[in-house]
Amino acid sequence: MTEHRPIPARSEPVKVPLGKRPLGVFGSLAAGRRNILELIPEIATHAPILSGRTGKRWHMVMDPDALRHILRENVTNYPKSVVTKLILEPAIGDSLFVAEGQEWLWQRRTAAPVFSHRNVAALAPVMSAAAERACARIATGTGRAVNCYDEMVTATFEVISDVTFSDGEGFDRASVHRAIEDYMAQTARVSLLDIIGAPAWVPRPGRLLSGAAMRQMKRVADGSIQRRRAEGNPGVPDLLDLLMAGEDPKSGRKMTTPELRDNLLTFIVAGHETTALTLSWALYLCAFDPAVQAAARAEAQAALGTRAATAADIAALPLIRRIVDETLRLYPPAAFLSRTAQAADTLCGREVLPGDTIILPIYALHRHHALWGRPDSFDPDRFAEPKAVDRYAYLPFGDGPRVCIGANFALQEAVIILATLLARFRFDLVPGKAPKPVMILTLRPEGGVWLTVTPA
């Protein structure tokens, strides 16, 4: 019998120790390589805007009205930063995530119907099947500690590879997954050259080392696309089929093989890890608060009995959806965004000059004391009335024209898998094994999420 220790009522889940003093260039480099979120000063959770210079002028924005201006009202003035492009372009080319202007616009118009509610709902059986397989794997570890982060990465990678290349022919999932992991480990850390604002053409040594794995991954994806063009897919249309059939309604342009490949790799890179992180942190938070977990389990069991959740069950799982929302508030996968100002502007009464770096510290925004009561506490009920939350105080998927195209896909997947797991298992903290939130490209639990698993 596992001993369940009560959690002190006033304790808070793990968080990043934000800085209390200026870091300077070399301090910023050390922090950026260790954990990007350590670049955020603690005062950012109280102030509307902070400005400074670390090689380049920067402004850190936490004010919802200013964020609306950046992301929606004056979005063309704030394209993704040079650093973001340096990190991601070698992996995903000039795809939706990286492209700007007209190149972005036609791709977005082409891809938007792919993620319609109907198409996303039609992919739900893949998510339910992955939830069943995750339960089967976790069941072999009941009674002992399981690294739930590894399990969730496996589950969500199964989903994204099944809905992108559903036939799996010639698509070596293990090698693609390894290439993505290696690429992130070697390239996503902030370089001193990034901090001081060196031009894009100056080589970043770490990013030169990881090219071979990415080139091989692109060759594998190109082969799968060409085979699909030749042979078709007799099953349910997957993301590749839907993108191949898609065309820009304005120009009639269709995606070439390299454009299809870069966008599918974008969905694989962005679509599996972010949901795996959300699920891992959600399980940690449920273990952290056994009362919330018990209520969520009762909800899941009432809706599901012993079967896996489906898209049709989501309306009957409001608490589990709120747990996902609160997890995305406390541990947003994209916790630190940056833009580069193209023209002079004003934010919160402060002058912005062309070339200034605009930092959107989503982690600090989601824990801002002026916007949230008890901001570091886990409280899913703060989302009981969604209209009570300021739209620009909560940005796990960004907003404006560039809001995450796969947000509905990710939320559906997270609720289906989380509900299925909670209906069948109880998750408890392992003393001395708390995860540590560390952001490199995404906000990961360093050391994994180790929880003791017992049958529900």
Active site members = 274, 397, 404
**Torsional sign, CA 375, 381, 385, 391:** positive
Cα distance between residue 315 and residue 340, in whole Å:
40
Tokens of 328: 């995305």
Q: What is d(CA 126, CA 413) in angstroms, rounded to the nearest whole number? A: 9
For residues 223 and 289, give the distance between their C-alpha atoms in angstroms, rounded to a whole number. Answer: 47
DSSP 324-359: HHHHHHHS-SS--EEEE--S-EEETTEEE-TT-EEE
Question: How far apart, in whole angstroms, are the C-alpha atoms of residue 303 and residue 297?
Answer: 10
Close Cβ partners of 37 (under 8 Å, ≥ 6 residues apart): 16, 18, 335, 336, 361, 363, 437, 438, 439, 443
Half-sphere exposure of 130 (CA within 13 A, CB side): 28
Nearest to 271 by CA among 342, 180, 391, 370: 180
Q: What DSSP assignment string belongs to 58-99? A: EEEE--HHHHHIIIIITGGG-PBPHHHHHHHHHHHTT-TTT-
Amino acid at 250: K
Q: How far apart are CA 86 and CA 336, in angstroms?
A: 16
Structure tokens given for 403: 């809001």
Note whether 210 and 188 are within 8 A (CB).
no
Residue indicated by tokens 């938070």? 285
